[in-house]
Amino acid sequence: MSRRIILSILLIGGIVVQAFAQNVVAVLEIVPSSGESALTIQEFRHLTDELRTQARNALPRSGYTILTRDNIIQLLPPDEAEAECLAESCAVDIGRAIGAEYVTQGFVGSFQGMLTLTVELYESMSGNMLGSFVTESEDAKGLLGTIREKAPALFAKLSEPGFSGLLAFGGSPTNDERRVLMDLQDSVEIPAKPQPQVPSPQSQRAGFWIAIGLDIIGAAALGFGIYKHIDANGLHSEYKKKPDASGWTESDFDEFGRRKSSELKKVNDARRIGNIGLMTGGAFFAAGLMVHVWF
């Protein structure tokens, strides 16, 4: 009976974790591969917007957050020198700096009189390229058509069952999350299975209470993680509210931008802390299940 109860709790916990986990995807601006390009700034922006739209349409909203252009700008370092230095870095470095699990970069070049477009998708934590596509066209309209044709399959890889770039808890772990898992591996000791002895009644009672303790800690951590995600959703709702800007001065807009950047940081921090709680709770539940099964 106790095994069935624990399995049911783990199943429910896994569903809850999956429901609240969010992967952040950053679609960086498509830029010319060299100093000059036949396309205008408006055309580059339109190509980037279409790539971002295809990412939003290809990925489930319940598990993925697609950063807008404004989101990415607000997450860049406030110091101008640091921001310029980061802008010259590779896509993976930018993805790590703004807290995105996945990031894309795109380049427009030329080849024998034709426009070329290269789009690459990376996992920020590992730096691995997960997919890409290359196309040629006589004009920007042809490049736009290729994005609409090939981008859905590129982004859809992220949500495929068994995709190696995704973890069971919803994406690449942050450094804090990795440290939590390493600490759990060092601190939670699962009794070694004797050969072929049967555990004594005293060992069974001790194992039962150890497992109950692990279950309680896991439930508390899961509850905390769920609470932080609910808190993040509330903060995100506040962040999306748009005030009446009539009569605002330029300094008012600057202050509003700084406040919005601070609010978005609070949302991301709450989500990261929530992920740590969910992962910790799942690990303790798994340890409790192993103790229950053994004893």
**Which span out of 37-51, 222-236, 245-259 was modeled with the highest average pLDDT?**
37-51
**pTM for this one?**
0.49
Q: Are strands 64-67 and 23-32 parallel, antiparallel or unpaired?
A: parallel
Over the stretch 192-206, which tens digit does the pLDDT of each residue have? 545 555 555 666 667
In the predicted model, is pLDDT for residue 151 greater than 50? Answer: yes
In the predicted model, is pLDDT for residue 139 greater than 70? Answer: yes
Locate 113 and state its tokens. Answer: 């009189």
Domains plus CATH for the chain? 2-19+171-294 (no CATH), 22-159 (3.40.50.10070)
Mean pLDDT of all residues in 167-192: 44
Give me the sign of the Cα torsion angle 265, 68, 249, 41.
positive
The pLDDT value recorded for residue 265 is: 79
- What distances in angstroms separate CA 82 from CA 79, 91, 100, 238, one per listed residue? 5, 15, 18, 28
Which one is predicted more confidently, 285 or 56?
Answer: 56
In the predicted model, is pLDDT for residue 176 greater than 80? Answer: no
The pLDDT value recorded for residue 119 is: 94
Q: Tell me if 122 sits within 8 A of 22, measured CB to CB.
A: no
Give me the sign of the Cα torsion angle 159, 165, 166, 172.
negative
Least trusted range by pLDDT, from 23-32, 121-130, 206-215, 224-233: 206-215
In the predicted model, is pLDDT for residue 184 greater than 50? Answer: no
The pLDDT value recorded for residue 197 is: 56
The pLDDT value recorded for residue 118 is: 94
Q: Report the amino acid identity of residue 178.
A: R
The pLDDT value recorded for residue 262 is: 77
The pLDDT value recorded for residue 280 is: 83
In the predicted model, is pLDDT for residue 2 greater than 50? Answer: no
Shortest CA distance to 149 belongs to which of 54, 77, 214, 70? 54
**Which span out of 34-38, 71-75, 243-247 was modeled with the highest average pLDDT?**
71-75
The pLDDT value recorded for residue 102 is: 94
Instruction: Report phi then psi at 128, rounded to 5.
Output: -75, 140
Q: What percent of the chain has pLDDT over 90?
A: 27
Least trusted range by pLDDT, from 57-61, 105-109, 178-182, 257-261: 178-182
Over the stretch 63-90, which tens digit does the pLDDT of each residue have? 899 999 888 888 777 766 555 555 556 7
Which one is predicted more confidently, 51 or 88?
Answer: 51
Over the chain, what is the mean pLDDT?
75
Query: Based on the number of CB atoms within 10 Å of its own CB, is 109 exposed (0-12), middle (13-18) or buried (19 or more)?
Result: middle
Task: Report residue 181's pLDDT band, with 50, 70 and 90 as the boundaries.
Answer: very low
- What distances in angstroms separate CA 129 from CA 31, 121, 132, 159, one per listed residue? 19, 6, 8, 16
In the predicted model, is pLDDT for residue 20 greater than 60? Answer: no
The pLDDT value recorded for residue 58 is: 92
In degrees to the nearest 10, what's the CA dihedral of 204, 206, 207, 213? 150
Q: Tell me if 213 sits within 8 A of 278, measured CB to CB.
A: no
Mean pLDDT of all residues in 148-170: 72
Query: Based on the number of CB atoms within 10 Å of its own CB, is 35 exposed (0-12), middle (13-18) or buried (19 or more)?
Result: exposed
